Amino acid sequence: RWTSSKRITFSRPVRWILALFNGEVLRLSFGSVKSSNKTFGHRFLSKGGIEVKEVSEYENLLKENFVIPDFSERKEIILKALKKSAEDIGGKPFYPEGLVEEVANLVEYPFPVLGKFEEKYLELPPLVITTVAAHHQRFFCFERDGKLLNYFLGISNNKPNEKIKEGYEKVLKARLEDALFFYREDLKKDLKSLIPELKKVLFHPKIGSMYEKEERMEKIAKKLCPLLSCEWEKVKEAVWLSKVDLLTEMVKELDELQGYMGYVYAKSQGYDEEVAKALWEQYFPKSLEDKVPETKTGTILSLSDKIDNLYSFFKVGEIPRGSSDPYGLRRSAFGIIKILDVKNIDVNLEEFKEIYGEFKHYPKLVDFIKQRLVSYLEDYPIDIVRAVLNVYSPMEPYKVIRKVRILYEASRSPEFPLVVEAAKRVIRIIPKDWKNYEVDEKLLIEEAERELYEKLKEFESKDIASPLELLPLKKYIDNLFDNVKVMAEEEEIRRNRISLLKRVEKLFRKFGDFNEIVIKEG
């Protein structure tokens, strides 16, 4: 609260309100602050209060007083500064995605400051240096021919001078010195010797230790391994090394480096390259836009970690609500879905339920994955997504995604409405609770139903790749409905005809529930 009123709250103190309409002050107030035609520029570089007479002059007046209100313009200044600095030192900018945007939002008027650090710090792995520089100081790094350079670019909100540059270099040096100390100390530790220590590292109070998590991950990985034809010994070794870097000094200080430091230390200790790389890849993808693991071992490790996250937290009732997701379970679910999709892995996630036993929140887990699948498939028409999810379980993400794509491709054909019409005609006459698929040929007394039955058997023996391939069935379906009374008075004949249509429906349901599909007129 920034005013005497208990009803008025705001995240930052409101000092003034500039409100103009047609050159006149628009009279309003917020708490005790009243509107005027005055505003202010940069806190230290501006000339003081600024009187604005017309809205059209507002932007230029701010620029004259060292405030650039346009985000895209501030961003462009930073990008140009990066390009020029890179040219000056003969390198290329090297920094994490999103840093330019972050810095552009932190300054009112960007002033570039090119600094330097001692070459001895290049002993550190590149990502350690960029993490220290970017995440903690918002500095940009540079590289040449794949090797990091000992230069950085800081963006000041004040006119640069030697004192500011020295300050930047001093604070970065202190951070890098700490990092170098941690790195050298960690290199003395044998990774395997740290595994028992994971029993003391808490994963979650309701779930247990990191050691117990790795035990569950091993069981998951063992089920996944045959799907990718992996070397089990490599996968098993990766599982047990996957969390040991949490015990290193570097990760304790810079937790965003977990996984990467496991990779660095495993490589330095001579572990198999794929095992080492898997320790880093276990956290891929970190977002929907991020890459998936490249290696088979990394793929299995990443899936095992994320599947365990979902099952473990849902079992103890730690379920995301609203915008709250403290354990990143939405990210885990999206990661699983993307990996299965990109890597073409057809696995039923329900297979892992036995590892965790029965728990009351399992239906919520299924629904949670369903919601993530709907979001993942947001580029496809929602009726097609629903049609597939009405038939296939969201616990089979790969199947759902493939069926949605097949159905969508078919929907782009001018013949698709005819297929939908035929399917709906069949579906709507079958009672919802009908389970019988057995057809007694002796009870097929009408020619139309016999013809449909023969055509049905022909299609049942084929591997149908698209619903469009079922179009030839339409004339036989129409012929049946036009010439035969499906709901015959004789119960045996009626039941037999419904079972026949149930078999026809089963062919269509291979691709989804066609009742959900909306055909737009015209």
Q: Please check the confidence at residue 522 and state whether its pLDDT lies above 70.
A: no
- What is the sign of the dihedral through the CA atoms of 498, 501, 507 and 511? negative
Check residue 124 and report its DSSP letter: S
What's residue 3's pLDDT? 64
Nearest to 519 by CA among 345, 381, 340, 332: 381
- Over residues 312-358, the pLDDT tens digits come to 999 999 999 999 999 999 999 999 999 999 999 999 999 999 999 98
**Residues 6+ positions from 54 with CB-CB distance below 8 Å:** 20, 23
Q: Are 403 and 392 in contact (CB under 8 A)?
A: yes
**Residues 6+ positions from 30 with CB-CB distance below 8 Å:** 8, 10, 14, 17
What's residue 2's pLDDT? 60
**pLDDT class of 1 with cuts at 50, 70, 90:** low
Count, residues in the chain: 522
Instruction: Domains for the chain: give ranges and CATH numbers.
Output: 17-64 (no CATH), 71-186 (no CATH), 192-400 (1.10.3210), 413-516 (1.10.730)
Distances from the Cα of 93 to the Cα of 33, 108, 173, 417, 458, angstroms: 45, 22, 20, 53, 63
* Higher pLDDT pick, 438 / 48: 438
109-118, 375-384, 431-440, range with the lowest pLDDT:
431-440
Q: What is the mean pLDDT of residues 261-288?
A: 97
- Over residues 436-462, the pLDDT tens digits come to 889 999 999 999 999 999 999 999 999
Residue 383: both structure tokens together: 């009726």
**pLDDT class of 135 with cuts at 50, 70, 90:** confident
The conformational region for residue 433 under phi > 0 = left, psi -120 to 50 = alpha, else beta, is alpha
Q: Please check the confidence at residue 275 and state whether its pLDDT lies above 90.
A: yes
Q: What is the mean pLDDT of residues 70-82?
A: 98
Note every long-range contact of 290-294, with CB atoms under 8 Å and residues 24 or more positions apart, other chains counting. 292/338, 292/339, 292/342, 292/343, 293/339
15-24, 162-171, 510-519, range with the lowest pLDDT:
15-24
Share of the chain above pLDDT 70, in %: 99
pTM comes to: 0.90
Q: Please check the confidence at residue 384 and state whether its pLDDT lies above 70.
A: yes
Check residue 135 and report its DSSP letter: I
Mutual orientation of helices 296-315 and 232-241 as an angle, nearest 10°?
Answer: 50
Q: What is the mean pLDDT of residues 286-312?
A: 97
